Structure 1
Amino acid sequence: MSQNKNSYKKFTYAIGKEEDGKCVKEILRKKLHLSRGEISHAKGEEDGILLNAKRVTVAHPVQEGDEVEVHLHERKEEEGKILPAKGELSLVYEDEDFVCLNKPAGMVSHPSHGHFLDSLANYLAGHFEEEGEHHKIRVVGRLDKETSGLILFAKSQICARRLFEQAQDGSRKKEYLALCAGFFAEKEGIVTAKIRKVPEEKLLREVHPEGRSACTHYLVEEQKEGYALVRLILETGRTHQIRIHMAQIGHPLLGDTLYYPSYQGQMKRAALHAALITMPHPFSGKPLRFEAPLPEDMKELL
């Protein structure tokens, strides 16, 4: 069991008959599912690891009826603040650990040059302020300004780290929907072209043999005249990966001025939407599924 108290994450576990005689460390690892790093972090705190409200070492044995309690405090150097602002949020899910939002196209995820008070993170900070909560905003996997759809924000450094680890081990999966130009002869496929930043360019990326490895799976969901609705799943998370890979195979995203500059249709932004996230809860392990319907500008073309 865990509890979020803004500046720290609290875990408790009641020792049963089957755990009698085991050491605290085994309870932390196997019952509370704490990582080695989290246990090391807790060791350095005055109230980090408690047994029946008293500080103990991880080698201490436990008995039936005992209660193990762990506090993982936010590190001082990780504290920070994003200015709160009032703005509309499309809340998909919220609990004591993280938030899932449906980001509209045209909004930046996090404050950046020219967007210090009108980012999704600013509006989320405003939401927390209204609720009387105090969290450092930690975006987990940013979306491009033009991209709509699902995005996660962790309420603690501990949760952010676990969400990052999920992305690394593949337990958190994200699917996108895009409108891509042309007729697809193959209804599904994999693109593995390497991607790098174009030298001396701020935003532009390109396929290059010296780039970083990248892998995109695509599946055509609906073929229209001149374009298709395509579902995309990433194995890697390179900047502009979907946009570059689909352009590379001759099917650039409608409205993508960077990688499809000749486009003259009605889409006013790259037609890309983060539609689905499936994941275990970062602490309880409960299976979670979040969905965001296609926005109107993409639905109009189907």
Structure 2
Amino acid sequence: MSTLRKSMDEYLTMRRRLGFKLHEAGQRLEGFVRFMERRRASHISASLALTWARESPSVQPVIWAQRLGVVRGFACYLSAFDSHTEIPPAGLLPHRYHRRAPYLYTDEETRRILAAALALPPASELRRWTYFTLIGLLSVTGLRPGEVVSLELEDVDLKECVLTVRGSKHGKSRYVPIHSSTRDALADYLRRRERCLAGSPETHLFVTSQGKPLSGEVISHTFTALTQKIGLRDSTRYAPRLIDYRHLFAVTTLARLARSGKDPERWLPVLSTFLGHQWTKDTYWYVEQHPELMKGAMKRLERRWRDVS
């Protein structure tokens, strides 16, 4: 094992113990170390890091910047032990990430998606009820799709109306309260699941008709088919995604607070905790993406300026 590879293992272990999952970053760093080993290079230099980051000319510049950022973080760590390590400058591959604007579903569109889910074949199996319940749960809880896929039977407390989301983004776990109508929908799904999979040892909440855990790829493919079926996908706009229900939940919650006369910004820390965000600023992004919320924020800012002056 090369010295650089050993240092990489120690670096990834340290950061993962701090709560960072580093799935993609770990794979990228592994690729960089292989590149260095092929070059027989023992020390990181800015020129080698830049060469590796731009190794794939077909990818977008933002991916180059992300690849270089992974190496830069490793180099910062390594420089404390190796004086020959060169840290790539922060602006070497400048590229700002532009977060894609969410698709905000109307209530009617959600009803049509759920109706399409209930029409999924075959009629006699669990599949249609799995997607009906999964999409419905996403629309009323603001959970990440990956969090819903990872739910297990023990995470659903119907008596207390609470879901337990375990080891989510940044390694956090949290409790998510649900409405009684959501509890009833989950109870109905669990009864159907038990009838279809009686005696199955599978512990995941949402499963295939064969009793296997659902994969994110299969769910995404099925959701694409459902939205195509009801005419929500064309070349003139961004295609709707399951994660957009998380955005919709956030802006709907904040807009409801504003209409009731409450200051949404005061409730941002509460919503941030509910959504499992690490920082409140991540939740504030939803305000920026909604015209009604931004208009309200501007009005509050103007009032504060008048009060100060």
TM-score range (shorter-chain normalised) is under 0.3
**Which protein has the bigger strand share?**
1
More RCO (CA 8 Å, sep 6+) = 2
TM-score of the aligned structures, taking structure 2 as reference length: 0.23
